[in-house]
């Protein structure tokens, strides 16, 4: 029996997050009742949605305060508060059997944040995160110039890492940290103050 390819993982994630049109939602609800494979995909998509988008109306206020405290920034009283980048692509949801070298694996994530997209590649060796390479993507040269004014701060457990995008919007962190399952926090800080918080699921 061949695999069901009626809906891909991104569609199931969009379904789980309530981002589809009612007609599409209805069709998927009918299909999943009779398809075990899609039911498994939906179960997984719901877990991912709960991790990356616990509240479709926006992140809870205490998330902002907690993230600020972890980065030693007093931003709770600033207006407007920083926003959370939205995860729009995760290669773990798309690749059933990723092509990986022995003992090494990679993951591709894409986040939406105004006025950029952030493209991240995470390189692992077993349970150790070795590197994060990123690219701030924009359609305009002006936005790329703005990207160079970002400072990127990554905190993993008690360690912190800092990077600045180059003239192409590219950056990287060299890391050697064990993955515990907790999301990693990446703060994009503009010169004038805090801007966007990225929660990286691990």
For 176-199, the pLDDT digits (tens) are 888 887 888 888 887 655 567 888
Model pTM score: 0.54
**Which has more pLDDT, 79 or 141?**
141
Other beta carbons within 10 angstroms of residue 101's beta carbon come to 8
- 60 confidence band (pLDDT: 50, 70, 90): low
Helix H or strand E segment including 47: helix 36-52
What percent of the chain is modeled with pLDDT above 70?
69
Range with lowest mean pLDDT among 80-89, 113-122, 128-137: 80-89
What was the pLDDT predicted at 150?
78
- Sheet with 170-178, edge to edge strand ranges: 86-90, 104-113, 116-125, 128-137, 170-178
b/e 167-198 (16+ beta carbons within 10 angstroms → b): eebebbbebebeeeeeebbbbbbeeeebbbbb
Residue 99, pLDDT above cutoff 50: no
Mean pLDDT of 85-104: 64
Domain range summary for the chain, segments of one domain joined by +: 9-52, 61-200
Average pLDDT over residues 170-174: 92
Mean predicted confidence (pLDDT) in 32-36: 91
| Dihedral-angle region of residue 190 (phi above 0 means left; psi in -120 to 50 means alpha; beta otherwise) | beta
Mean predicted lDDT score pLDDT of the chain: 75
* Cβ atoms 171, 60 nearer than 8 A: no
How many Å is the Cα radius of gyration of the chain? 18
- Mean predicted confidence (pLDDT) in 110-126: 85
């Amino acid at each position: 029996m061949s695999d069901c390819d009626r809906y891909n993982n991104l569609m199931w994630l969009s379904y789980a997050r309530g981002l589809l049109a009612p007609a599409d939602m209805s069709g998927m609800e009918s299909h999943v009742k009779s398809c075990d494979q899609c039911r498994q995909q939906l179960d997984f998509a719901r877990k991912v949605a709960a991790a990356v988008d616990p509240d479709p109306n926006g992140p809870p206020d205490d998330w902002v305060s907690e993230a600020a405290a972890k980065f030693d920034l007093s931003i709770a009283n600033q207006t407007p508060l920083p926003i959370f980048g939205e995860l729009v692509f995760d290669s773990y949801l798309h690749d059933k059997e990723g092509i990986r070298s022995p003992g090494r694996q990679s993951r591709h994530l894409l986040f939406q944040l105004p006025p950029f997209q952030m493209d991240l590649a995470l390189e692992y060796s077993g349970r150790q995160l070795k590197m994060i390479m990123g690219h701030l993507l924009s359609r305009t040269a002006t936005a790329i110039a703005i990207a160079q004014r970002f400072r990127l701060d990554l905190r993993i457990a008690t360690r912190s890492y800092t990077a600045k995008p180059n003239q192409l919007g590219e950056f990287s962190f060299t890391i050697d940290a064990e993955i515990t399952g907790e999301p990693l926090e990446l703060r994009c800080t503009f010169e004038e103050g805090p801007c966007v918080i990225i929660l990286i699921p691990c």
